Amino acid sequence: MDRRSFIKNTSAATIAALAAGAPIPAILSGCGKKGKAGVNSTADTVILLWMAGGMAHTETFDPKRYTPFEKGMAGDRVLSTFKPVPTALDGISFSEGLESIGSVLDKGTLIRSYVAADMGHILHSRHQYHWHTCYEPPQTVAAPHIGSWIARELGPKNPVIPAFVNIGQRFTVGEAEELKAFHTAGFLGNEFGPFLIPDPRQGLESVRPPVGMDAKRFERRNQLYNDLISKSPVGEYGSDYQKESLRRSMEQAYRLLNSPESKAFDLNSEPKESYDLYNTGRFGLGCLLAKRLTEQGARFISVTTEYEPFMGWDTHENGHTRLKEMKKLVDRPIAQLIRDLDRSGHLDRTLIIIASEFSRDMMVEGRPDATVQEQVNQPDILSDLKFYGMHRHFTDGCSMLMFGGGVKKGFVYGKTADERPCKTIENPIRIEQVHQTIYHALGIPPDTQYEVEKRPFYTTPDGNGKIVPELLLRV
C-alpha cells in the first residue's frame, strides 16, 4: 500500500466513524461482565516516550560487536557503530551515549525481542498507526489510539486535566495526513482524543487565550468557533453521538482555561536547576511537561522525538553521526523523568514505555525471511562516513523499555542473535501483547469491546491479545 492509498482508506474510515452512531458497549464486554475498569490495577497513568522514525536496537539498548569506521571496510562487518557501555544491571550493556538511561535500568524492564508486523513495503506512518492502535491499516472504521481507549475506559484522574495529552508532534511537517490518521479517538468520539501540544515550550499558550484578548472577546471567538464546527465535516456528516462528543471535548478545554491546574503547562514556573536538567530541546522539555502533568492527574501522555521523514531516528544516511545527536536529546531527560517520578512516589503507579515503530540494520530491509523493496542506497563497501550506520528498516528484532506501574525491576526479557541478521531468537513479543499487557496493568479487561457497524471492535484485534506475565510483578 502506498501513501496515497493509505490516506484515501483512512480518510474513508474517519468519515465512517463520524457517521456511525454511538459505539455500544457489548453486554459481555469486560466492563459489564468483570466489573469496573481499573480494579486490581498496578498503574493509573501511562507515559509513552516515542522514538519516532525507527530506532536501531543494535545502536541503543541491544548493542552487538563494535566495529570502528575504516574507509573501504565491508558493510557486513558492522553490527554496532558505538561501543557498549555498562548499565546498572551486571552483564547488561547499552550503546555508548545512553549511560544515563542505563544507570536507572535497575528500576525497570528491558525487552529485547519486539517483532514488528509484516505489512509489505515498509512505510513509517503505517507501522506507527499499527503500534499506536494495534490494528493494521486500513480499517473500515477509524481505530482509536491506545491513549483514547485508556481515556474512555478509565476516565480522567483529574476532571480538569485532559486525560490524553500528546506532546511534540507537529502536523505541519512531512507526512501530516498520515500521522493524523492515528492521532484520533476514532469511533470513541472527540472527547477521548488527544490534547495536542506541538511544542512544550508553548504549553501555556495551549491553555490560555492569546495575549491581549479580554474575556469578552474570547467568548465571542469561542462562539464563532462553535459556529464553524457546526459547518465542519463533523457537523455535516457526524452522528448525534459524535457531535455531542465534540461539544463535550470543547467544554473540557474551556474548563481547563479557567483552572489553577493550567499552571502545570507553564514550564517557566519550574525551578531553573530542574529545567536545565531536562532542557536538551523540545523532547527533553516534553519529558518535563509529562512529569508535571503526571503530578496533576493526566491519564495518558505521549512525548515524541517527532516523526519527520529523513530526520531524527529516520536515518537513511549518516546514521552514526545522527545518532550521536539523538542520544544527547533523549538520554538525560528520560533518566531524569524516571528519577523524579520515583523520588515523588509517582513511579509506582505510572507506567513509562520507551519504544519505536521498528529497528534498523545496515544490510537487511524488512526481515531475513521476508525482505522487501530496498529503500536505501547502502553500498557493500563503505567509502565515506555517511554510509556508516544503520540505514535500512529492520522489523525482526526491536528493543523497548518499561518502568514503574507494576513491571519488574532489573529484568531483561527476550534475546536477539549476536550475529547478522540480529533477529529475535527468544521470547518474541508482538504489538497485541504489548497493548494487552498495558491494559492489564491499568485494570482494563481483555474482552473490552464496543459494537461498531454491527460488529464487535476490541482493544486488540478480535480480542486475542494476551498479556506477557513475565514482565509483571503480579498477574
What is the C-alpha to C-alpha distance for residues 311 and 331, in angstroms, rounded to an integer? 18
Q: Could you state, in order of their start, the residue ranges of all structural domains in the chain?
A: 3-471
- Cβ-contact 340, 380 below 8 angstroms: no
Which single residue is written with the C-alpha cell 528493543? 399
Kind plus residue range of the DSSP H or E element containing 278: helix 272-278
Task: Identify the three-state secondary structure at position 388.
Answer: coil
Torsion of CA 89, 90, 92, 97, to 10 degrees: 70
Q: What is the pLDDT of residue 261?
A: 81
Q: What is the pLDDT of residue 463?
A: 94
What is the C-alpha to C-alpha distance for residues 191 and 152, in angstroms, rounded to an integer? 9
What is the C-alpha to C-alpha distance for residues 159 and 275, in angstroms, rounded to an integer? 27
Pairing relationship of beta strands 45-50 and 93-95 according to DSSP bridges: unpaired
Model-level pTM?
A: 0.88
Pairing relationship of beta strands 73-74 and 381-382 according to DSSP bridges: antiparallel
What is the C-alpha to C-alpha distance for residues 465 and 455, in angstroms, rounded to an integer? 18
Q: What is the mean pLDDT of each run of 10 residues along the chain (475 residues)?
A: 60 55 57 59 98 98 98 97 98 98 98 94 92 93 95 93 94 87 90 93 72 62 61 60 61 68 90 97 98 96 96 96 98 98 98 98 90 87 97 97 98 98 98 98 96 90 96 93
What is the C-alpha to C-alpha distance for residues 376 and 370, in angstroms, rounded to an integer? 17
Task: Identify the three-state secondary structure at position 356.
Answer: coil
Fold adopted by 3-471: Alkaline Phosphatase, subunit A (3.40.720)
What is the C-alpha to C-alpha distance for residues 331 and 57, in angstroms, rounded to an integer? 15
Which residues on neighbouring strands pair with residue 450, listed in sequence order?
25, 457
Q: What count of residues does the chain have? A: 475
DSSP state of 204: G
What is the C-alpha to C-alpha distance for residues 441 and 45, in angstroms, rounded to an integer? 10
Q: Which residues contact 203 (CB under 8 A, 6 or more apart)?
A: 167, 197, 265, 266, 267, 289
Which single residue is written with the C-alpha cell 528500576? 107
